[in-house]
Structure 1
Amino acid sequence: MNMWRRLLLAVICGVAVASIYAAQPVLEPMGRDLGVSAELAGWIVATSQFGYLAGLLLLVPLGDVVDRRRLIAVHLAITAVGMVLTASASAAWVAFVGLATAGVFAVVVQTTVAYAASVSPPAERGRNIGVVTSGVVVGILGARVVTGGLAEVWGWRSVYAVLAVLSLALAALVLVLLPSEERTRPTASYRQVVASLGGLFGERLVLTRGLIAFFLFASFGTLWSGLSLPLADSPWHLSESQIGLFGIAGLAGALGAARAGRWADAGRATPVTGFALALLIASWAAIAQLPWTLWLLIVGIVVLDFAVQAVHVSNQHLLTAAHPDRVSSVIGGYMVFYSLGSALGAAATTAVFTSYGWAGSSILGAAFAACGLAVWATDRRLRRADTHQAPEQAPGRAQEQTHGTDKTDRADKAGQAMESPKVL
C-alpha cells in the first residue's frame, strides 16, 4: 500500500460515489429532458440510493468469498454500463434502469475500503482506511462542483458519459496496478455469508458503531441536503453554481480523515470518536449563523466534515480490526446504518426548514449529533461496568458478558500494541 495505490483506491471511491450523487445539481434539466415531472424528480436520486442499499446487503459480502481486486474491477465495469445507459437514455425508464444499476454496483466503495483494510499491516490500517475514505467525501462534495460545470457547458448527459469513461479506466488500472490479497480459502459460501449478516447486527460492537453512524450521517445529511434552501433564499439569493462552491469547504474538512486514521492506529479510536461527536455538536452553533454571516457557516462546514470523517474512519477501523476474517461483511452491515441515517437527514431537514426555518434545521442537526454522542457515552459506561464486574463473575459467565467489550478493546488497541517493544 504505497502512496500511488492509496491514491488509486481513493479515486475509485470518489468516482463510484459521484455516480450516486451526480444527479442532485442537475435534477431540473434532467427531469425536463426525460419527461419526469417536478413532483417525481426526487426519484432520480432515490433510485440510485435504493440500489445502493440493495448492493450493501447483496454484493458487499461477496468480498469475503472471492478475490476483492477482481471484484472491484467487475463492479466498476458494470457501474460504467449503468452510466452509459443513463447518458444515452431517451426515455425515463431507461435512465432509471441505468441509475439503479450504477447504484447497486457503486458499493464498490465498500469493497475498496475492505480491500485496503485487508492488505494493510495492522499498524497502518487506520491510516490507509482514512486516505481511501477521504475519496468518498471528495466524490460526494466534489460532484456538486464539477457536475454543475460540466452540465452548463455540455449538458447533463456529459456528466454520466465522463463517469462511465473514468469507471472503465479505473477498472483497467485496478487489474494492472493492485496486488492480489494474501488470504486463506474461504470456509463459508456466499449464501452463508449473507445469512450471517443478521448475527453481526446483533453484536454489540457492530450495533453501537452502526447507531453512531446512523446519527452521524443523519446530521451530515441535514446540512448537505438542506443547505441550498436558505442560501437560495433571502438575504443571500445565491445561484446554483455559487451554492455548489460551498462543497469546497467540505472538502477541506474531509482532509482530516487521514489524520483520524493515524489516531486510530495509535489506539485512540474510542476517545477520538467522543471528541469528534462533541465537535460535531459545536459545529452546528456556527452553521446556525447562516442567516447573518457566511464566514461562520464556512467554519462550521469545515469542522462538521472533519468531525464526521474522524468518527467514520474510527468506526471502520474498530470493526475491521475486530473482524479481520469478515471485513467485507462487517463494512457492508455498518454502511446500512450510514444509508438509513443519510436518508433520514435528507428527508427531515426539508420538512423542518419549511416549518421552522434554518434555526430549526440547525437544532435538528445538533440533536442528531447529540444522539450519537449519547450512544457513544452509554457504550463506554457499559464497557467499564462489564470490566469491573467481570472479576466477580464465574469464569464462563464473565467471558460471555465481556465478549463484546473484549472485541472493542482489542480493536482499539491494535495499532498501539503493534508499536509496543514488548510485543515486537
Structure 2
Amino acid sequence: MRVLVVEDDDELRLTLADALRRRGIDVDTAADLPEADRALAAGSYDCVVVERFLPGGDALDHVRTRWAAGWPMPVLFLVEGQAVGLDVLRSPEEYDYLVKPFDPGELVARLHGLSRRAALLAPDVLRAGSLELDLARYQVHRDGVPLTLTSTEFAVLEALMASQDQVVPRAALEERLHGQFDGPALDAVIARLRTKLGPPARIESVRGVGYRLQATPPAETVGEVGTTFPVTIYLGDESGHERVQAAVEDLLDLAGAEIADRDDPVRGSWFRRMRARTRAAATSRPGREAAAAAAHVLDSRLVLAQDATVTATMMQNLGPVLAALHTTKDAVIRVGALLIVKVEWTVAVHQLTAAQQLLLDHHPHLLTSPQEILTALRPDNASDAPPLPGHHTGQRERGQPDDPALPR
C-alpha cells in the first residue's frame, strides 16, 4: 500500500510516516495542500491521510472539489474533536476519519479497512476515451476492436488507466508487477503498448518520474500534426552521446518532425528510447515538394505509408549523424523506417520494410545489439531491406583498423 500523509505539524508528520513505514506501508509526506497537489500529480497512491485544517485552508473543501472532478482517491481525515461536516461527504466506503489523539495501530487498521472498502467499489471496466479495459473478462478494446496483450502489458495498462491523466511512478509499476521487471524491461513493455495502442500517442513519458496515460490523446489533424514513430539510440559507450542525440534531433527537424517524448537514458553503454511526431511542415505544400524531390531514392512501397515522406527527407541529410558517430565503434540508431548500424567501425544504413519495423517493435532487445540486428535483417530471416541508394552498406570509415566486412 502507498499512502500520502498531509500534515502541517512537522513532528506529527514524521511520527506518522515512521509508524506507517515500520508496518510495511510506503509513505510520502506533504506539509500543505499545494505540496500535496504536486505529490498527487507526480505519483500514484492507494489512500491519502490529511489533517482537516491546514494553513492553506480546509482540506474538506479541497477534497470535495477533487471528488466532484472525478478524483477516485479514498481519504482518511485527521480531526480535532468531532468530525464536523464529514457526514455530508460521500459514502463510508470512500472516506474515514480519526479523532486526535489516536494510536498508530488504529490508523493502520483504518487505512487497510478503507482500502478494502474502496476496492469493492472499483469498476470492472476502465475507460479512457476510446480505450476500454475489462478486468472481469481480461479484455482490452480500442474503438471496439479487441487488442491482444500479454499479461504484463495488461497489468501495466491497468495501472496507467486506473490513474489516467496522472503520473504513475516507475517504482509503482514495478511494484504492481511484483518486481519482475527492471528498468529497461519495463521500457520495452511500454514501447510494445504504444505500438499496440497505435497513434495518436497516449502514453507519455515524464522524465525522471514515470509514465502517464492521457484519457483524451491529442487529436491528429492531417496537415497539422501527423503520425508518431519510434526513435532509439544505442551507443557502445556513452561518450559523445550528446553530440549524436543532437544530430538525430536536427535530422528530425529537417524532416519536419520533433521529439514528442523521451525515456530516461540507460547508462554504461548508452541507450535512449524516444518517440517523434511529424509537424505541420511535413504535410505542408513545401514539405510535400521537398519529400517528392527526395522520393526517387527509395521505394516507398516497402515502408509504412506514414513513414515514407519522413524517411525520404532524412536519407538526404544523413551526413551530420554519420559524422557524429565517427568516434563510436558500435551503435544502432533507429528513426522510424531508417536504421543505422555500426559494428566494429563499419557502418550499414537500411531502409526498413513494414515487416522489419514490426520485427523490431516486438523484439526491442535487437536495438541494443548491433550484430544481432544485422543478422535478424538478413533476407533469410526477414523480408529483404535494401540499403539506401547513395549510401554504402559495409563501408569502413577512414582511419579505422581493417576488419572483415559485415554480412550485407
Q: Shared topology, TM-score over 0.5?
A: no
TM-score by length of 1: 0.20
Larger Rg: 2
* Structure with a larger share of its residues in helix: 1
Q: 1 or 2 for the larger relative contact order (CA 8 Å, sep ≥6)?
A: 1
